[in-house]
Each structure stands twice: as structure tokens, then as C-alpha cells.
Amino acid sequence: FNKAVELADNYLNAFYNRGTLYAKLKRFPEALKDLDKALELNKSHPESYNERGAILVYLGRREEALDNFQLAVLYDPGYVNAYNNRGAVYSGLREYDIAVRDFKQAIRLDPQFAPAHYNLSYAYFMKQDYEKAWASLQKAVDLKYDVDPGYVQTLEKAIKK
């Protein structure tokens, strides 16, 4: 990616791809710099906003992350992962009704997207709607999602009460 950036400093995908690589390596300042450059080249690049959002969540900057996920879905209303990511942030902020809305939107867009089913299960659990939590968890399991056994046990206990 470095060579691509050197050869064409206006090549959006080079900055985006290098930025995602830096993020995987947890080199967040460099990742954000490259993603910012990608967005300078194309302000409506949803993947760059989504990746920036994921990094900002990792850095504990959730409000900024929400802004980035919002821009990702603004520029691509069909961006399943951005809805799921935004829902996860809302869940972390204990805004479970909003989280449920985002997870459901991700599922409407892609019914086979197992992470959204799992996250929806957790949001329902936190709302103490255990039956819906169980149904969402079952869907995630049916889709071969790797679920946390501790969460399954906790949900089972809550249902039995």
C-alpha cells in the first residue's frame, strides 16, 4: 500500500486499504491519518467512515464514532455493518431502544448477518425482554455465529425466573 500511495497520492483505495491495515495492526494514529486522507479525496466514502468509527470506538471516543457511523449510513443506506456498529455503540451507551432499531435495520438489509442477530439478542436482554433475546440468539446460532456460552447460561437463567 505504501508503494501505491507513493505512486498516486490521490488514489482513494490506497489510503483506505493502508488505513484499514494500520487499524488491524493497532497503529491508530496512522490509520486515522490515512482514512482522513481517503475522505479528503472522497467525502462520501462510507467504508472510510465506518472504519474510522470502529477505531474511535476502540479509543473510547464513542460520540465521535457515532458521528462516523451516521455518515457511513447516510452515504450508503444499505451498509449493514455500519448499522450493526452504530447499534453496538448505542448498546454501550445503554440506549437499547436505538440499538434495537439499528440491529433490526441491519437484519432487514441482510437477514443472514449473524452479528446483528447476536447483538440484537443482547440489547433485548438488557431491556429484560428475554423471549426476544432468546429468539435472536437462536437465529445467531442457526447462522453459525460463535456465541459466548456464559451469555447463553445467563439468558437461560433469566428466562427461568
Query: Predicted confidence band at 153 (pLDDT cuts at 50, 70, 90)?
Result: very high
| Whether the Cβ atoms of residue 112 and residue 143 lie closer than 8 Å to each other | yes
Q: Are 133 and 125 in contact (CB under 8 A)?
A: yes
User: Where do the H-state alpha helices sit in the chain?
Assistant: 2-7, 12-24, 28-41, 46-58, 62-75, 80-92, 96-109, 114-126, 130-142, 149-160
User: How far is Cα 45 from Cα 94, in angstroms, rounded to an integer?
Assistant: 29
Q: pLDDT, tens digit, for every residue of 84-94?
A: 999 999 999 99
Stated pTM of the model: 0.91
Place of cell 437463567: 157
Distance separating alpha carbons of residues 113 and 136, to the nearest angstrom: 12
* 8 Å CB contact between 139 and 147: no
pLDDT band at 55 (very low <50, low <70, confident <90, very high): very high
The cell for 79 is: 451498509
